[in-house]
Amino acid sequence: MHGSRWWQRGVIYQIYPRSFMDSNGDGIGDLRGIRSRLEYLSWLGVDAIWISPIYPSPMADFGYDVSDYCGIDPRFGALDEFDALVHDAHRMGLRVILDYVPNHTSDRHPWFLESRASREGEKRDWYIWRDPAPGGGPPTNWLSEFGGSAWEWDDATGQYYYHAYLKEQPDLNWRYPAVRDAMHEVLRFWLDRGVDGFRVDTIHHLIKDSELRDNPPNPSYRPGMPPHRQLLRQYTTDRPEVHEAVAGMRRVLDGYDDRVLIGEAYLPFDRLMAYYGQDLSGMHLPFNFHLIGAPWNAPAIAEVVREYEAALPPGAWPNWVLGNHDKPRIMSRVGPAQARVAAMLLLTLRGTPTLYYGDEIGMSDVPIAPEQVQDTFEKNVPGLGVGRDPERTPMQWDGGAGGGFTTGAPWLPLGPDLARTNVEVQRADPGSILSLYRALLALRRAEPALAVGRYAPLAAGPDLLAYVREHGGRRLLVALNLTSRPRRLELPSGILGGRLLLATGLDREGELLGGVVDLRADEGVIAEVAPAQGA
């Protein structure tokens, strides 16, 4: 695939480290555990692993409250174990992407301890401190994503500090040059150790309004929504100055060969596109989450794809996400039959796919009893169903007592479907969803049309989604039935029949197609097709 970068043609696999593989029986996944499963990831056929935070942390938000950006939390291992993991991954042809959490630290980070020690301290301006409002109370009406005010009073120095998330996660002041310099050094520390890129956490929060204006009320707010949705985050997220900060990160990465910068920002397409940066000098891949919340029907998905493709700046590379550590799992959203169709969609659209661990074996959200809740978001705002524990449960490697994940008690419960939803059973089953993911990944790797080819939608009616991927004169048709009823796709006059390469049931390869494609209920197919003469 001449001219393409590894992060354009490859597939990223997200690992939530607490839940992937435990090597020492303490019930929490670790680096040695990940390293022991690299063979599986190589067999599966992914190209890069993205590891959620592994830095030293009090774990108020399970690693997203960092107390040392240049170390490894002892729960996960040590720096030499991380180096060994990178070495082995590279030897197997796998890239390693780390989470980078620039918006906030832990309140136990030495920077914050020094910042809150005195108003005159050297690092006071490294965080966002403000006096009370004229009448007393917080400086603004800004709300924390995890409930309550985003301002926390500090008795010792008589000011409030700002935290977009937990009070244990004070926000860094990215308007302050010393903060940028220090955080750029963090990037260099890991790049020098061989890391292939970063997924940047909550990038749109990085800069706040310099005038500290109140956020306006949200006219769409309804009871039952998380409390922070009462306000529009007009002055606390997606500020224009954030793109200068992103460009600074990109300049650091551009000093190294072949690295990737991925940004997390839940934004509408028109605002998300700005994160590619002027002249593509920003994020290589601002994460596109829009399929996660889209209604699961053909017209809605087709419209998401159309809007996204139309919005992309010239030369920008697209990407797609169907699941992650913050959202309900695909299987729980669309059901077992359509989860196979979702797999084919994710791995055949134009752009870089990110696959969430466990989705390849069809893991579902696991019910969490009240006494088992770990997620602070759920504890702070109970009863609204905002907890993220159900999609963070341990990877199910086999059907044994610990699911092959641990010899001890897992930090979150395993799924009730463990006996059949596990790697060992599905690896031996040629018709399993794991076998489908592996076949899709192999076909994507073998066919440049699927990895980097052009994308052209086809008219397919209200129940089907169909498109052609083309590269170097080779054309592949993807047809997806988003319903539980058989459907027929009539091929346009410009396309002759062809031959099926892969079906979601893994049972139709080699079938010849004429001018129509008959799809069974909940089925997707990929076929090689040829243009009609003169077309």
Residue 414 and residue 312 share a domain:
yes
Mean pLDDT of 412-425: 98
Task: State the alpha helices, DSSP H only, in 118-205.
Answer: 177-191
- What whole-number distance in Å separates Cα of residue 413 and Cα of residue 206? 34
Residue 252 lies in a domain: yes
Question: Tokens 């196979």 belong to which residue?
Answer: 340
Residue 436 lies in a domain: yes
* pLDDT at res. 3: 72
Of the residues 47, 81, 201, 522, only one is catalytic, namely 201
- Check residues 531 and 47 and name the one with the higher pLDDT: 47
371-412: pLDDT as tens digits: 999 999 999 999 899 999 999 999 999 999 999 999 999 999
Percentage above 90 pLDDT, the chain = 97
Residue 507 and residue 421 share a domain:
no
Residue 114 and residue 13 share a domain:
no
Residue 219 lies in a domain: yes
**Predicted confidence (pLDDT) at residue 514 exceeds the cutoff of 80:** yes
Active site (annotated) includes residue 114: no
Residue 378 and residue 315 share a domain:
yes
Residue 479 lies in a domain: yes
Active site (annotated) includes residue 201: yes
Residue 170 lies in a domain: no
The CATH number of the domain where 141 resides is what? 3.90.400.10
CA dihedral of residues 164, 165, 169, 172 (deg, nearest 10): -20
Residue 99 and residue 34 share a domain:
yes
Examine the fold and report which residue of 414, 441, 468 is the final residue of a domain before the chain moves on. 441
- What whole-number distance in Å separates Cα of residue 15 and Cα of residue 37? 11
The CATH number of the domain where 275 resides is what? 3.20.20.80
Residue 421 lies in a domain: yes
CA distances from 80 to 31, 32, 64, 85, 401 (A): 10, 11, 22, 9, 31
**Predicted confidence (pLDDT) at residue 533 exceeds the cutoff of 60:** no
312-340: pLDDT as tens digits: 999 999 999 999 999 999 999 999 999 99
**Predicted confidence (pLDDT) at residue 535 exceeds the cutoff of 80:** no
Residue 28 and residue 125 share a domain:
no
220-241: pLDDT as tens digits: 999 999 999 999 999 999 999 9
Residue 206 and residue 83 share a domain:
yes
231-283: pLDDT as tens digits: 999 999 999 999 999 999 999 999 999 999 999 999 999 999 999 999 999 99
Looking at the structure of the chain, the number of domains it has is 3
- Check residues 497 and 344 and name the one with the higher pLDDT: 344
394-404: pLDDT as tens digits: 999 999 999 99
Q: Which of 233, 315, 256, 243 is nearest to 282 (CA)?
A: 243
Residue 380 and residue 290 share a domain:
yes
Which residues does 240 contact at the CB level (< 8 Å), separation at least 6? none
The CATH number of the domain where 518 resides is what? 2.60.40.1180
- The boundaries of the domain holding residue 153 are 110-162
Mean pLDDT of 110-116: 98
Which residues does 20 contact at the CB level (< 8 Å), separation at least 6? 29, 33, 34, 37, 357, 394, 395, 405
Residue 487 and residue 422 share a domain:
no
Residue 302 lies in a domain: yes
Of the residues 30, 61, 238, 264, only one is catalytic, namely 264
- What whole-number distance in Å separates Cα of residue 476 and Cα of residue 496? 12
Taking all residues of the chain, what is their mean pLDDT, rounded to a whole number? 97
- What whole-number distance in Å separates Cα of residue 125 and Cα of residue 134? 21
Residue 193 and residue 146 share a domain:
no
Residue 387 and residue 302 share a domain:
yes
- As given in the structure block, the two tokens for residue 520 are 């069974």
* pLDDT at res. 405: 98
Mean pLDDT of 99-114: 98
Residue 296 and residue 206 share a domain:
yes
Residue 446 lies in a domain: no
